[in-house]
Amino acid sequence: MSVPQGVKYAIIGAGVHGLSTAFHLAQRLKAAGRGSGADILVVDKTGVGAGASGIACGVVRNNYFQPAMRELMAHSVEVWESDPKAYSYHPVGYMQISPESMHADVALIYEQQKAIGYESTFVEGADDSMRYMRGLFDDWQAQGITSVLHEKRGGYANNQASMRGLAAKAQEEGVRILSGVEVNSFEFGSNSGAVTALNTNQGRIACDTVVVGVGPWVNKIWNLLDLPKKITVKANGKVRDDVPMWKFWCLEEGTLGVDPHMHRTNDGRFPPVLHVDTDAPLYSDRDRKLITDKIWGIYYKPDFNFGGVQGGASPYKVEQDPDQVAVDPYGPESPEFVVGEDFIEMWCSALAHCQKRFEGQMPLYKRDENSGGLGCFTPDNFPVFDRFRENVYVIADSNHGYKMIGVGKLVAQELVGETSRLLEPFRFARFAKGELHPTSHSPFPWS
Ligand X SMILES: Cc1cc2nc3c(=O)[nH]c(=O)nc-3n(C[C@H](O)[C@H](O)[C@H](O)COP(=O)(O)OP(=O)(O)OC[C@H]3O[C@@H](n4cnc5c(N)ncnc54)[C@H](O)[C@@H]3O)c2cc1C
Q: In the complex, what is the shortest distance from the CB of residue 416 to ligand X, in angstroms, rounded to a whole number? A: 20
CB of 318 to ligand X, least distance (A): 12
- Which of 110, 249 has the CB closer to ligand X? 249
Least distance to ligand X from the beta carbon of 61, Å?
8
Question: Which residue, 18 or 445, has its beta carbon nearer to ligand X?
Answer: 18
Indicate the residue among 11 and 233 with the shorter CB distance to ligand X.
11
Taking the complex as a whole, the smallest distance from the CB of residue 425 to ligand X amounts, in Å, to: 18
Q: Are 199 and 183 in contact (CB under 8 A)?
A: yes
Amino acid at 90: H
Q: In this complex, which beta carbon is closest to ligand X, that of residue 64 or of residue 137?
A: 64
- Minimal distance, residue 229 CB to ligand X, in Å: 18
Q: 182-190, long-range: CB within 8 Å, 24+ apart, which pairs?
A: 182/43, 182/45, 183/12, 183/43, 183/45, 183/221, 183/224, 184/224, 185/224, 186/210, 186/224, 186/225, 188/389
- Which residues of this chain interact with ligand X, rule CB under 6 A? 12-18, 43-46, 50-53, 55-59, 182-183, 213-217, 251, 253, 372-373, 375, 397, 399-403
Measured from the CB atom, the residue of 43 and 205 that comes closer to ligand X is 43
Q: Which is nearer to ligand X, 237 or 335 (CB)?
A: 335
- For the CB of residue 406, give the shortest distance to ligand X in the complex, in Å: 12
Which is closer to ligand X, CB of 52 or CB of 79? 52
Q: Which CB atom, from 45 or from 70, has the smaller least distance to ligand X?
A: 45
User: Exposed (0-12), middle (13-18) or buried (19+): which is 111, by Cβ within 10 Å?
Assistant: exposed
In the complex, the smallest distance separating the C-beta of residue 398 from ligand X, rounded to whole angstroms, is 8
Which is nearer to ligand X, 107 or 161 (by Cβ)?
161
Min dist CB 53 to ligand X, Å, is: 3
CB 55, min distance to ligand X, A: 5
Instruction: Return the number of the residue (205 or 282) whose C-beta is nearest ligand X.
Output: 205
In the complex, the smallest distance separating the C-beta of residue 184 from ligand X, rounded to whole angstroms, is 7
